[in-house]
Amino acid sequence: MNCIVFEWESFWVNIVAGFILLIPSILISIWLIPKFTFRLIKKRNKKYSAIKIGAILQELSEFLIDSPFKDKELNKETVAIFTKKLDIKNYRYITLLNTNVFNQNVFPKMIIVINDFFKNKELQTTYDIIAKEYDRIKKFRVEIERILAAHSLHIEDEVIQKVSCFCFDIKALEISYKFNAIYDDLLVETKSGRTGVFGLNDISKIYESLLYLVRDLIFDELFDYEIKTKT
């Protein structure tokens, strides 16, 4: 009768060896593979990200160009935005910004320009301008949100968060502006004259946030820019 001898030494050697191999395998599956996969996806989406973020930059730029709040000093320098020239195959011009957002002076200057614009105007005139600008800002927000909703898969979360926060700022303006309707009803009932306009102070905040947003988006690794002085 043969006696089967169990080799405990070989058994434990295999257990220890398997355990040693298991640790790097776990690290590779949990950390290394997802990291390289994310890099590959990001690289493949780079072209599409530039297109989608570029579309947002175009909307922001056109909004500033059509703004009634213009000033010679504020619009002295322009910023041409385009994709990286190193990627010649996908190189494309994005837009021309009529304000140099890399000049820190433009941020307080924008607020001053807006305040001066309304300084000597009658309240009813101010209200009419605010109403027109409100409609323009609302349409602008809807268009930005449409771009985000349609192309969020090709836009980084950080960019989505920044743009979404800007849209929330606009929503706050819209809520503030709606108080004008209630105020108008009170004026009719009391047969009183207008003494103020809701949302006036929020306009300058929206424009300031817009300038910061444009600057942050241009700083993305996907874009280059050139600053030119108007002659």
**3-class secondary structure per residue, the chain:** CCCCCCCHHHHHHHHHHHHHHHHHHHHHHHHHHHHHHHHHHHHHHHHHHHHHHHHHHHHHHHHHHCCCCCCCCCCCEEEEEEECCCCHHHCCEEEEECCCCCCCCHHHHHHHHHHHHHHCCCHHHHHHHHHHHHHHHHHHHHHHHHHHHHHHHHCCHHHHHHHHHHHHHHHHHHHHHHHHHHHHHHHHHHCCCCCCCCCHHHHHHHHHHHHHHHHHHHCCCCEEEEEEECC
pLDDT of res. 157? 76
Residue-number span of the structural domain to which 165 is assigned: 46-229
Tens-place pLDDT, residues 130-166 = 889 989 999 999 999 888 877 665 577 788 888 889 9
Q: Does residue 78 lie within any of the structural domains?
A: yes
Q: Does residue 126 lie within any of the structural domains?
A: yes
Confidence grade of residue 80 (pLDDT, cut at 50, 70, 90): very high
Q: Does residue 217 lie within any of the structural domains?
A: yes
Share of the chain above pLDDT 70, in %: 68
Share the mean pLDDT of the chain: 79
Q: Tokens 């280059």 identify what position? A: 224
Alpha carbon 179 to chain centroid distance? 28
Worst-scoring range by mean pLDDT, 10-24, 48-62, 126-140?
A: 10-24
pLDDT over threshold 80, residue 185: no
Q: What do you get for the CA distance between the two ends of the chain, in Å?
A: 107
**Is the pTM for the entire model greater than 0.75?**
no
Distance separating alpha carbons of residues 142 and 57, to the nearest angstrom: 15
pLDDT over threshold 90, residue 45: no
Q: Does residue 18 lie within any of the structural domains?
A: no
Q: Does residue 186 lie within any of the structural domains?
A: yes
Per-residue pLDDT, averaged over 173-195, amounts to 71
Q: Does residue 61 lie within any of the structural domains?
A: yes
pLDDT over threshold 50, residue 182: yes
Q: Which of 22-26, 84-88, 180-184, 213-217 has the highest mean pLDDT?
A: 213-217
List 80's β-bridge partners, or say none.
96, 226
Q: Does residue 4 lie within any of the structural domains?
A: no
Q: Does residue 128 lie within any of the structural domains?
A: yes
Residue 227 in tokens: 């600053």
pLDDT of res. 1? 47
The count of structural domains within the chain is: 1
Sign of the torsion angle spanned by Cα atoms 178, 207, 116, 134: negative
